[in-house]
Chains A and B, each alone.
Chain A
């Protein structure tokens, strides 16, 4: 399929799956070397950027995020900005101020989140690569639910300049694609130091030469609470890995169960300060009663345009930061982060990666999601959160399909800066895995 015909079909595809919030106006690929899309929390100077929030409705940034600029320089054409949970706050992309993307394998199910639109685009569109962002699992979760490959690199590997912040100490930009080989190809373009993001300046060289993965450790804590089908499919995948010459050990990583509460303290504390700037003054919605006192006006705009989950996380984060609690919650959460890092380092001294299913179940139906409490959906992230809080690189590969034909994924976690071994295992896996493309009829 040529890029021009992909471009021609894009509107119809989007009408069916709702992966894009904003789309490129032209329908020709021009002289583009490749087509890509980007999560809507990455700024683009030619398209509206809202991070899934109505409070930024109509906002067009004056600068490109570094990762988008680099892909354009490499000849890429940005075709659309993908739908997501508001500011990244969610697991199913249903907490969006705009359209909710639909699962390529079953339109009544979610794509996962928060980079749901990106995974959907990568799954549905021919030869497509999409930029995602992970704070607590937002790349691997939707990659798993949409049956594609996704990598969240080491924290600091890709410049966050141009990323609309959720939790600055956790946010990582990565790549989602149908093809494992694409992950390395496009990560090589977007990785690297950028003076405009000081946290990207300490990274070592990005090496991507093949390095065979020889051993993995499966934490007991990572195979608890799985659905029966995920458990069985993962078990088969592990046998397959063994046959590929990978040693498999079962280990204890007791710190993993503390990662979740610590994550929510850190992520919401930082989010509540990041979201303070949205007051209806400088960008996004600015209508409202200008005769009000400034704080009443701010309250009016924020009450009207933030979604429920954004409000919940602002409240949680503000509470965690407040008088008397700062020391108890925020400082404690940072200690837990260090404990989780130490636990990974200990296991990764003797193993190349830590392995577990990416999500404990396959993509849920929208009607089931609407019955879930906020806490239920927070808990669904227990397998992806630990690597995210540790800032270690992690990659999800599709590893099987359940009885409804929904994809299951598994996630490898390597030590900081060791993306190379993740690319290698994903490419080895791809050679022998029978990927079932979703049926895309428009």
Chain B
């Protein structure tokens, strides 16, 4: 089975790709529009250079070769939400080509190309069977990332997307609380003929759509039926793919170069752009550099890159053991609580760990102080809470000793404790904190 993806993500520019309309969400339809994004006769595009910058950053993250010159092309097709009936995209000489992106640091997924293009508007179907078009989105910049068919299973496709989207969010500085949709065209061939599932929204749906199509193709092959090359769409409610049309070939769009925009010489710009380490690369590096359990590395980085950076700081100043013990332990468990309170100063945490490593305070004192600083509880209450939580967990473990033996085979067994504690306390403790404490207490019983 071969799976290849074409992923579309929005680039976080403030204005649109070819005009100065805002890219922000708008409550009212057809408000952030102008002659250019409405495709009015006589208007023409002016490129937002930031789109090239973001495109180059993505190309670099995916280890693509960045072309020295790049330009735009017209893709012509008729659809109501495409205001010019022409989409400005890239065809020859996209920003980046021939990249590779490693899944979990191991499996290479080849990247065919990354190019930038404009989004069409959106069509809203109404109850009385008419459709309304909103051009607020028309001209919003997108990056399209195309992979080679190197993905083996629907689950792997989701894993790839999850990892890549995490890295892209960090690269493009997309705020954690911002919804950032990825849309995919998913290509899958179980036998020899390829089927494309168009415009699937979200990671979970990508996996489900591919799975559903895989099952369909297997059934076809078993029944000795011919799979035709075509475009299908995915209906998430019924979990089936539905034929849209026999596959269009790219040639049928009649691409020509966009004559209103020139050739962009981007070598110098590309050379000047440095990208920071991606979350995925940081996971791989700290795992090997500090000989960490990969799970802990992943948890630190996925919680927050800042948390992972703190880990490295502590490791350098006070040794890896202290970093694992404190940053991997209570600091990690209380990180969200601290973020929610808007606390960003980490000096106090370093000071406490410094005191501990010099023997100025005890293990328990340090843990209590850290929690108190991060959650804002006073130390006495934090101590009481912490003691209360430990008592609760110990009681539960006494009644269910099997958890301890199960845990030695699979540490997920600790999760059983969460449900119990949550029920007893009504969500007084964070799940991270419960797991953290539970692990400590279970391991103490080995």
| Chain A residues within CB distance 8 Å of chain B | 42-43, 49, 51, 56, 59, 61-63, 65, 160-165, 167-169, 195-199, 202, 269-270, 272-273, 276-277, 279, 281-283, 290, 294-295, 298, 318, 321-324, 326, 330
> Which among A62, A199, A279, A295 is the interface contact of B260 at CB below 8 angstroms?
A199
Q: How distant is the Cα of A318 from the Cα of B260 in the complex, in angstroms? A: 19
| Chain B residues within CB distance 8 Å of chain A | 35, 38-47, 74, 76, 78-80, 83-86, 130-131, 133, 249, 251-252, 254-256, 259-262
> What are 28 contact pairs spanning A and B, CB under 8 A?
A49-B42, A61-B35, A61-B40, A61-B42, A62-B40, A63-B42, A65-B42, A161-B44, A168-B44, A195-B46, A196-B44, A196-B46, A269-B256, A272-B76, A273-B74, A273-B254, A273-B256, A276-B78, A277-B39, A277-B84, A279-B80, A294-B79, A295-B78, A321-B76, A322-B251, A322-B254, A323-B251, A326-B255
Q: How far is the CB of A173 from chain B (nearest CB, A)?
A: 12
Q: How distant is the Cα of A322 from the Cα of B131 in the complex, in angstroms? A: 30
Q: How far is the CB of A334 from chain B (nearest CB, A)?
A: 9
Are B40 and A283 in touch, CB under 8 angstroms?
yes
In the complex, which residues of chain A have a beta carbon less than 8 angstroms from the beta carbon of B262?
A: 198-199, 202
Q: How far is the CB of B218 from chain A (nearest CB, A)?
A: 32
In the complex, which residues of chain A have a beta carbon less than 8 angstroms from the beta carbon of B85?
A: 276-277, 279
Q: How distant is the Cα of A164 from the Cα of B84 in the complex, in angstroms? A: 13
Are B251 and A324 in touch, CB under 8 angstroms?
yes
Are A294 and B80 in touch, CB under 8 angstroms?
yes
In the complex, which residues of chain B have a beta carbon less than 8 angstroms from the beta carbon of A196?
A: 44, 46
The DSSP consensus for interface residues of chain B is loop
Q: How far is the CB of B58 from chain A (nearest CB, A)?
A: 24
Are A198 and B260 in touch, CB under 8 angstroms?
yes
Are A330 and B256 in touch, CB under 8 angstroms?
yes
Residue of B whose beta carbon sits closest to that of A320: B254
In the complex, which residues of chain B have a beta carbon less than 8 angstroms from the beta carbon of A295?
A: 78
Q: How far is the CB of A270 from chain B (nearest CB, A)?
A: 6
Known: A282-B83, A321-B255, A326-B251. A277 touches B41 (CB 8 A): yes
Q: How far is the CB of A132 from chain B (nearest CB, A)?
A: 16
Known: A273-B76, A279-B78. A59 touches B251 (CB 8 A): no
Known: A196-B46, A276-B76, A323-B251. A49 touches B41 (CB 8 A): yes
Are B78 and A63 in touch, CB under 8 angstroms?
no
Q: How distant is the Cα of A163 from the Cα of B259 in the complex, in angstroms? A: 14
4 new A-B contacts, CB < 8 A, other than A61-B41, A165-B42, are: A63-B42, A277-B39, A281-B80, A281-B133
In the complex, which residues of chain B have a beta carbon less than 8 angstroms from the beta carbon of A273?
A: 74, 76, 86, 254, 256
Q: How far is the CB of A391 from chain B (nearest CB, A)?
A: 12
Residue of B whose beta carbon sits closest to that of A169: B259
Are A282 and B39 in touch, CB under 8 angstroms?
yes
In the complex, which residues of chain A have a beta carbon less than 8 angstroms from the beta carbon of B131?
A: 294
In the complex, which residues of chain B have a beta carbon less than 8 angstroms from the beta carbon of A276?
A: 76, 78, 84-86
Are B252 and A323 in touch, CB under 8 angstroms?
yes
Q: How distant is the Cα of A265 from the Cα of B42 in the complex, in angstroms? A: 22
Q: How far is the CB of B190 from chain A (nearest CB, A)?
A: 27
Q: How distant is the Cα of A379 from the Cα of B37 in the complex, in angstroms? A: 38
Q: How distant is the Cα of A49 from the Cα of B43 in the complex, in angstroms? A: 13
**From B46, B249, B254, residue with most partner A Cβ within 10 Å:** B254
Q: How distant is the Cα of A277 from the Cα of B39 in the complex, in angstroms? A: 7
Q: How distant is the Cα of A321 from the Cα of B78 in the complex, in angstroms? A: 16
Q: How far is the CB of A61 from chain B (nearest CB, A)?
A: 6
> Which among A59, A199, A279 is the interface contact of B41 at CB below 8 angstroms?
A59
In the complex, which residues of chain B have a beta carbon less than 8 angstroms from the beta carbon of A324?
A: 251
> Which among B40, B45, B255 is the interface contact of A282 at CB below 8 angstroms?
B40
Are B260 and A168 in touch, CB under 8 angstroms?
yes
Known: A160-B44, A168-B260. A323 touches B35 (CB 8 A): no
> Which among B80, B84, B252 is the interface contact of A322 at CB below 8 angstroms?
B252
Known: A198-B46, A318-B254. A282 touches B38 (CB 8 A): yes
Q: How distant is the Cα of A169 from the Cα of B262 in the complex, in angstroms? A: 10
Residue of A whose beta carbon sits closest to that of B80: A294
Q: How far is the CB of A329 from chain B (nearest CB, A)?
A: 11
Q: How far is the CB of B33 from chain A (nearest CB, A)?
A: 10
In the complex, which residues of chain B have a beta carbon less than 8 angstroms from the beta carbon of A62?
A: 35, 40
> Which among A42, A202, A298, A326 is the interface contact of B78 at CB below 8 angstroms?
A298
Q: How far is the CB of A186 from chain B (nearest CB, A)?
A: 20
> Which among A162, A198, A281 is the interface contact of B42 at CB below 8 angstroms?
A162
Q: How distant is the Cα of A165 from the Cα of B40 in the complex, in angstroms? A: 11
Are B256 and A270 in touch, CB under 8 angstroms?
yes
Q: How distant is the Cα of A272 from the Cα of B86 in the complex, in angstroms? A: 10
In the complex, which residues of chain A have a beta carbon less than 8 angstroms from the beta carbon of B86?
A: 273, 276-277
8 closest A-B pairs (Cβ-Cβ)? A321-B254, A276-B85, A323-B251, A168-B259, A169-B259, A43-B42, A164-B41, A162-B42
In the complex, which residues of chain B have a beta carbon less than 8 angstroms from the beta carbon of A326?
A: 251, 254-256
**From A160, A270, A282, residue with most partner B Cβ within 10 Å:** A282
In the complex, which residues of chain A have a beta carbon less than 8 angstroms from the beta carbon of B41?
A: 43, 49, 51, 56, 59, 61, 164-165, 277, 283
Are A198 and B254 in touch, CB under 8 angstroms?
no
Residue of A whose beta carbon sits closest to that of B250: A323
Residue of B whose beta carbon sits closest to that of A63: B35
Q: How far is the CB of B71 from chain A (nearest CB, A)?
A: 12
Residue of A whose beta carbon sits closest to that of B130: A290
Are B80 and A198 in touch, CB under 8 angstroms?
no
Residue of B whose beta carbon sits closest to that of A282: B38
Q: How far is the CB of B382 from chain A (nearest CB, A)?
A: 60
Q: How distant is the Cα of A272 from the Cα of B254 in the complex, in angstroms? A: 10
In the complex, which residues of chain A have a beta carbon less than 8 angstroms from the beta carbon of B40?
A: 61-62, 282-283
Q: How far is the CB of A56 from chain B (nearest CB, A)?
A: 7
In the complex, which residues of chain B have a beta carbon less than 8 angstroms from the beta carbon of A51?
A: 41
Q: How far is the CB of A281 from chain B (nearest CB, A)?
A: 6
Q: How distant is the Cα of A62 from the Cα of B249 in the complex, in angstroms? A: 38
**From B39, B42, B45, B76, residue with most partner A Cβ within 10 Å:** B42
In the complex, which residues of chain A have a beta carbon less than 8 angstroms from the beta carbon of B254?
A: 269, 272-273, 318, 321-322, 326
Q: How far is the CB of B117 from chain A (nearest CB, A)?
A: 15
Q: How far is the CB of B51 from chain A (nearest CB, A)?
A: 14
Q: How distant is the Cα of A239 from the Cα of B252 in the complex, in angstroms? A: 55
> Which among B79, B251, B252, B259 is the interface contact of A270 at CB below 8 angstroms?
B259
Are A161 and B83 in touch, CB under 8 angstroms?
no
Residue of B whose beta carbon sits closest to that of A159: B44
In the complex, which residues of chain B have a beta carbon less than 8 angstroms from the beta carbon of A279?
A: 78, 80, 85
Q: How far is the CB of B251 from chain A (nearest CB, A)?
A: 4
Q: How distant is the Cα of A295 from the Cα of B133 in the complex, in angstroms? A: 15
Q: How far is the CB of A155 from chain B (nearest CB, A)?
A: 10
Q: How distant is the Cα of A49 from the Cα of B80 in the complex, in angstroms? A: 23
Residue of B whose beta carbon sits closest to that of A297: B80
Q: How distant is the Cα of A62 from the Cα of B85 in the complex, in angstroms? A: 21
Q: How distant is the Cα of A290 from the Cα of B149 in the complex, in angstroms? A: 42
Q: How far is the CB of B39 from chain A (nearest CB, A)?
A: 5
Q: How distant is the Cα of A294 from the Cα of B78 in the complex, in angstroms? A: 9
Are A164 and B80 in touch, CB under 8 angstroms?
no
In the complex, which residues of chain A have a beta carbon less than 8 angstroms from the beta carbon of B46?
A: 195-196, 198
Q: How far is the CB of A65 from chain B (nearest CB, A)?
A: 6
In the complex, which residues of chain B have a beta carbon less than 8 angstroms from the beta carbon of A43?
A: 41-42
Q: How distant is the Cα of A283 from the Cα of B42 in the complex, in angstroms? A: 12
**From B76, B83, B255, residue with most partner A Cβ within 10 Å:** B76
